[in-house]
Structure 1
Amino acid sequence: MRTREDLEAVVEAAGWAPSVHNSQPWSFTIAGDEISLRADVDRRLRAADPEGRELLVSCGAALFNVRTAIRALGFEPLVGMLPDPDRPALLATVRIGPAEAVDEHTEVIRSEIPRRRTHRAGFAGRRVPERMLDALVGEAEREGARLTPVGAEGAIRVLAALTTAAQEVQAQDREYSLEMIRWGRPPGSKYRDGVPADAYPQQARRTHPHFAQRDYARGQGWGNPDDQPMAADTGVVALLTTRSDTRADWLKAGQALQAVLLHAAAAGVAAAFHTQALEHPQLRDFIRAQLCSGEFPQMVMRLGYPTTRTRGVRRPLADVLDEGGNPG
């Protein structure tokens, strides 16, 4: 059993997981040598994510961080997924298992947890090597999901067009717009969640084909004026899918996503996320049928070498560690 400080460090690591709009929709409790992960449903996107799929994908990424941080302490993480049907907000429990040797691979991945950043612009023209893509495919497979780099130019154009179309529809929808207002932070904001104004370029260059980015500035002229990418390569477009579409699959997808992101980050590769089309059931069904061989798309992303680096903001430990032990 490790000290309370060790387990709190594990929870802090969990909080560096990516989440839609950086909403950080999770909370944790520590009881003895066990950490519980719960969904914070007050942070669910009610317009974009009414079923909570993206929320659970986000929490799955946090769960992967928990597992990795425990392994880096020299112990096996013993995970119970969705352990209690009567407490749907309780997504997982992770106990400290037997001691195990810490290998260099685990140490490298653990070190990337607080350094990884979501990218919100084009990439440098340098191509991600095929051997790297193969390795990332393997990481996703080990977590029970499939990562498919999209090679066909026609399929990439379709995904780009669907992303742009979905964003145009969302821009005209009041409920979607209110969610963007909630999570798009103005310059100088003291909030430790949401997307800060310096986390994206003020005038991002268009990629070809162009994948629309979320408009967190909402016409206010926000963005980092010093974060102007010199290149605007699309990068490698990839789909993360699962065979079925249950809550357990969403958690698996999140763990697979974070495994891919951390291994990519260790090689200097970042990811830009495009979930707009997946937030429309009809478009998600179309992508599933036409581009995913019937598997369920959980994430559309672009992978590449970023030309800039943005800062990350996360809620402090006291905000995500529930000392009261809410039963969920």
Structure 2
Amino acid sequence: MNTGTSEAISRAARTAVDAAIWAPSIHNTQPWSFALSGDEISLRADPDRKLRLADAAGRQMLVSCGAALFTVRIALRAQGCEPEVRLLPDPERPLLLATVRVRPGAPPDEHTRLLHAEVERRRTHRSGFTALSVPERLIEALVAEAAAEAAHLTPVRADAAVRVLASLTGAAQAVQGEDRPRRLEIMRWARPPDSGRRDGVPAAAYPAEPRRTYPEHFAQRDYAGSRQWGGETDDRLSSATGLVAVLTTPGDLPADWLAAGQALQRVLLHGSAYGLSVAFHTQALEMEELREFIRRHVCSGEHPQTIMRLGFVLDELASVRRTSSEVLDDDG
């Protein structure tokens, strides 16, 4: 590899890390770090950012890191590079989740450019949607995107199943809301108004008061608690439940969690390109007995990795991310 090519590869790798910081993560914890060494990017989990009560096994942490990994891949392909990925390459270093070697590749196709353009535009939604339905062709495309990453996105069509998921979400939220240690864990990631922090959930990113969605209500996280935080939403225009869907994997090991995260980001970026927003409801999946019930009775035996609502909104708020220098180790 000549010097010019080597320098181009290094620039592409750094640009991919710059993109990866925009990946979604549970409560915007951003539980990842990266290292650059020549033509290789290493992705590591950051256990200091794991939810120790809600995510004791680290499943949601790895789903989040999987989303960052897909973002690295799409950012490299958008620059005409080919990522060579090794998942969990060293059993003795379980926090090393993946290595990505950057190779020369083909110019990006239209689909790659479409997804890459949404990396910084995509936002997580935390309220109701407009009454506009998600087009069937878009749903089919999202299902195909998840399948491309060895995961399954299943739209929940049956009213009874939607009611079950809504009820279990509400039950889990009620139980967790009475658990003081869990409330404190959530509060760690709730940013006060005008906070200068570059992680966590901004105060304006959720309604100041709980908002019902119709026809089925999915309980939202209580980030504000007794504090007068939160933004305002117009219930007359944004109160629809939207399309409920579950992302599942056949297995339930770290490699499956990483696959789920890659599938999730692929779905989110494709949806964002067509104006679609997504709200997440993982409360019930943080209680193993409820997660097992959902696996057996809603997901046909597959392992649920996230529950979401999809729909259209009138506007979206800005997001916050740490800078790449805060998450990157460079060997020079």
1:311/1:228 CA distance change after superposition, 3 Å: farther
Question: Which position in structure 1 is the counterpart of 2:159?
Answer: 153
The answer as to whether partners of 2:45 and 2:97 remain within 8 angstroms in 1 is yes
The CA distance in 2 between the partners of 1:125 and 1:5, in whole Å, is 44
Question: Which position in structure 2 is the counterpart of 1:295?
Answer: 302
Q: Does 2:280 align with 1:281?
A: no
Question: Which position in structure 2 is the counterpart of 1:263?
Answer: 270
Which of 109, 124, 132 lines up with 2:138 in the alignment? 132
Which of 186, 189, 192 lines up with 2:192 in the alignment? 186
Q: Does 2:252 align with 1:248?
A: no
Question: Which position in structure 1 is the counterpart of 2:80?
Answer: 74
The answer as to whether partners of 2:9 and 2:103 remain within 8 angstroms in 1 is no
Structure 1 counterpart of 2:178, which letter? Q
The CA distance in 2 between the partners of 1:55 and 1:273, in whole Å, is 15
Q: Does 2:134 align with 1:144?
A: no
Q: Does 2:176 align with 1:170?
A: yes
Query: Which secondary structure state, in structure 2, belongs to the residue aligned with residue 159 of structure 1?
Result: helix
Which of 18, 27, 30 lines up with 2:24 in the alignment? 18
Runs of 4+ more than 4 Å apart:
none
The CA distance in 2 between the partners of 1:52 and 1:5, in whole Å, is 31
The answer as to whether partners of 1:200 and 1:310 remain within 8 angstroms in 2 is no
The CA distance in 2 between the partners of 1:231 and 1:185, in whole Å, is 24
Identity %: 58
The CA distance in 1 between the partners of 2:57 and 2:47, in whole Å, is 11
The CA distance in 2 between the partners of 1:312 and 1:254, in whole Å, is 19
Structure 2 counterpart of 1:311, which letter? A
**TM-score scaled by structure 2?**
0.95
The answer as to whether partners of 1:192 and 1:313 remain within 8 angstroms in 2 is yes
Query: Which secondary structure state, in structure 1, belongs to the residue aligned with residue 35 of structure 2?
Result: strand
The answer as to whether partners of 2:151 and 2:263 remain within 8 angstroms in 1 is yes
Q: Does 2:243 align with 1:214?
A: no
Question: Which position in structure 2 is the counterpart of 1:233?
Answer: 240
**TM-score scaled by structure 1?**
0.96
Structure 2: runs of 5+ lacking an equivalent: 1-5
String of CA shifts for 1:73-104, please: whole Å, max 9, x gaps: 10111100000001000000011123212112
- State the Cα distance separating 1:324 from its structure 2 match: 6.3
Question: Which position in structure 2 is the counterpart of 1:36?
Answer: 42
CA RMSD in angstroms comes to 1.3
The answer as to whether partners of 1:122 and 1:207 remain within 8 angstroms in 2 is yes
